[in-house]
Amino acid sequence: MPEKESHFHHFLRSCKYSILGLAAVHTEIAFRQLVLLNIVLCVLLYCLDFDLIVKMILLTVGILTLVIELLNTAIEAAVDHTSLEHHHLAKRAKDTSSAAQMVMLILLATLWGIAVYQRYFL
């Protein structure tokens, strides 16, 4: 009977897989572009005079763009692994995950626009 893994060892193994996932996704140009965008936005958050809650919301939405891109990349990899043949359901899966990223980026731009407008133009 195999030994049961301790919670700590399970946690360490999970961290290892997460790091491997980040290492794998760094080759994706879209992910690197989003990292760069988030770095620029974080510098802006530091420089601009927003309330703390606004900064927290903008930071959260920025990080969510990275999360969505990780999921998008995972879906694309799983679909490509399943079959390289063109199939309408595979296309739908890829298009839908890409659309999720687009919606998130529209939300990010909208919230930044509202925050800047409210703080500096009202």
Task: Tell me which residues are annotated as active site.
Answer: 69
Distance CA 28, CA 117 (A): 33
Expressed in percent and rounded to 5, the helix, strand and coil fractions of the chain are: 85, 0, 15
Burial of 62 (0-12, 13-18, 19+ CB in 10 A): buried
Among 27, 73, 65, 38, which residue's Cα sits nearest to residue 81? 73
